[in-house]
Each structure stands twice: as C-alpha cells, then as structure tokens.
C-alpha cells in the first residue's frame, strides 16, 4: 500500500491501494486510470468513499476479492483538514461556483470562531448541498441545481467527533474534522458561516484519514501507475 512497499501486487486475489487523490480528479477518474494500467487483467476495481474533484487526499482503492470490503471501509470515520472562507457563500458551498452572497467578516473575533464549533459536535442533522451526487427520481441533484431548478433534500443524521480550528487568518479559517460516513464538509462550511452570521464556503479540503488508514501511507497516483507498469514488464520477461 505504501510507496516503500517492494512486494508484487496480487490484484485478482485482492489489494487495498491507498492513493493521494490529485486535485480536480474525480474518484472515478482515479479508478479508471488504475483499471486501465492493470490491463489486460479483467478484475474488479472500486473505491471506498468518494472525494469531490476539488478535494485531495486519501482514496481507498480495492481490487479483486477485496472489493467485498468496500462497504466496511466506507463505514469508518473519516478525518479531514481544510479551509473555510468567510467572505461569502456559493451555491455549491465550495469553489465549484462563484460567490453569490458576499459577507462582511471583519468584526468576527477568534473567540467567536472557536466557540462556533461547539454546536456541530456530536450527533447532528445535516442538509446535503444541492450540488451533490444524491439521486432524486434517478437523476443526480447537481444536474437539477445546475439547471436552476429548486432541489429539496432531507436532513441526514451524522456525527462529528472532533471539530478544531487550527489557524485563523480572516477570511480563512483552517480546521480539522473527524466525522462519520455521509458527512458533507461543504455543508459544515456553509452552516458554520450561518452560525457566525456570515456567508461561508469551503475553499480547500483534504482527507487525511479513513478508519486506520492514513494519507501519509498513500501512493502518489503516477508513482503507483509506474510501479504497476514495471511489474507487468517484469512478469512478461
């Protein structure tokens, strides 16, 4: 799993590959790239937990028989670091769309910002972003949102085990969060602004942990692909 590993991959028997997802790649892009690099092997490849294109960090890839473990990996708590920008809100709650409601944030104090995290801890109900991959009547809601259609989403129960502020450099607030499966960090950013009486959006996100897996042990995607190609070349000799 780690870049220091020298053992040969056994993709059909099953591998758990940790990848540091690059910025602007979809999780499906990473799966597709790795699947193509494994050809001509015809094996199952899947990921355990989607990351938005504008997020980076830990993506768990399972191959072969280990794809049966995906559900259990997805159920684990996740840790994220990132930046909430308090200069205004966006329709997507992140930088996919432009600020539509700018806000005045200069009056906020460090004490107020730290104190605002308390209401997010524990079991809470969260509304997912309209710009999300949730399906309504078979259609992704982000497709409806991009057409300007109204989207009604139901609140979901999630759990926030840790929410700490690591740095404040207004309008940016650097944070670390540990949360349950199904948590939308974009919604946390949006709601955090509302708790402070300002608009807010997520400007940076990185998944650092998932269960017992850590991004420090993850492959850079290109390095992993090169190792797979090298193994194929060695096996053919």
In the chain, where the domains are located? 15-75+212-236, 78-210
Of residues 155 and 234, more confidently modeled = 155
Distance CA 125, CA 188 (A): 11
Beta strand 201-210 with 172-179: parallel, antiparallel or unpaired?
Answer: unpaired
112-141 per-position pLDDT tens digit? 999 999 999 999 999 988 766 666 666 666
* CA dist., res. 152 & res. 185, Å (int): 19
Q: What is the pLDDT of residue 5?
A: 45
Contact predicate 81/176, CB 8 Å: yes
78-210 CATH fold: Pseudouridine synthase (3.30.2350)
Averaged confidence pLDDT in the chain:
90
The residues, any chain, with a CB within 8 Å of residue 170's CB and separated by 6 or more, are 86, 105, 106, 108
- Give, in degrees to the nearest 5, the angle at Cα 118 between 74 and 75: 10
Burial 12-36 (b: 16+ CB within 10 A, else e): eebbebbbbbbeebebeebbebbbe
pLDDT computed for residue 167 by the predictor: 98
CA distances to 62, 103, 119, 184, 197 from 79, rounded to whole Å, are: 20, 28, 18, 12, 26
The residues assigned a catalytic role are: 52
Alpha carbon distance 191, 120 (integer Å): 9
What are 35-83's pLDDT values in tens digits? 999 988 889 999 999 999 999 999 999 999 999 999 999 999 999 999 9
| CA dihedral over 28, 33, 38, 42, signed as positive or negative | positive
- Is the pLDDT confidence value at 144 over 70? no
Check residue 130 and give its pLDDT. 72
Token reading at 182: 């199904």
Across 171-196, b (16+ Cβ under 10 Å) vs e yields bebebebbbbeebbbbbbbbbbbebb
CATH topology assigned to domain 15-75+212-236 = Pseudouridine synthase (3.30.2350)
- For residue 197 the two structure tokens come to 């009486």
3-state secondary structure of 104: coil
Residue 116 CB: number of other CB atoms within 10 A? 20
CA–CA distance, 22 with 87 (Å, rounded to integer): 26
């Amino acid at each position: 799993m780690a870049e220091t590993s020298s053992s040969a991959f056994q993709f059909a028997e099953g591998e758990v590959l940790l990848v540091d997802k690059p910025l602007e790649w979809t999780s499906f892009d990473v799966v597709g790239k790795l699947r193509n690099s494994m050809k001509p092997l015809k094996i199952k490849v899947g990921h355990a937990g989607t990351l938005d294109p504008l997020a980076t960090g830990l993506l768990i890839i399972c191959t072969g028989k280990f794809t049966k473990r995906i559900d259990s990996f997805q159920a684990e708590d996740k840790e994220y670091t990132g930046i909430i920008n308090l200069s205004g809100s966006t329709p997507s709650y992140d930088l996919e769309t432009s600020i539509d409601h700018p806000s005045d944030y200069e009056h906020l104090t460090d004490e107020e910002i730290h104190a605002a995290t308390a209401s997010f801890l524990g079991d809470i109900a969260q509304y997912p972003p309209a710009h999300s991959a949730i399906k309504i009547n078979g259609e992704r809601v982000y497709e409806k949102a991009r057409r300007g259609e109204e989207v009604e989403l139901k609140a979901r129960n999630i759990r926030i085990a840790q929410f700490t502020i690591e740095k404040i450099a207004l309008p940016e607030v650097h944070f670390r969060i540990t949360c349950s499966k199904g948590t939308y960090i974009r919604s946390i950013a949006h709601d955090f602004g509302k708790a402070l009486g300002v608009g807010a959006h997520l400007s940076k996100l990185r998944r650092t942990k998932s269960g017992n897996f850590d991004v420090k042990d993850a492959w850079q995607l290109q390095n992993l692909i090169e190792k797979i190609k090298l193994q194929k070349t060695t096996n053919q000799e």
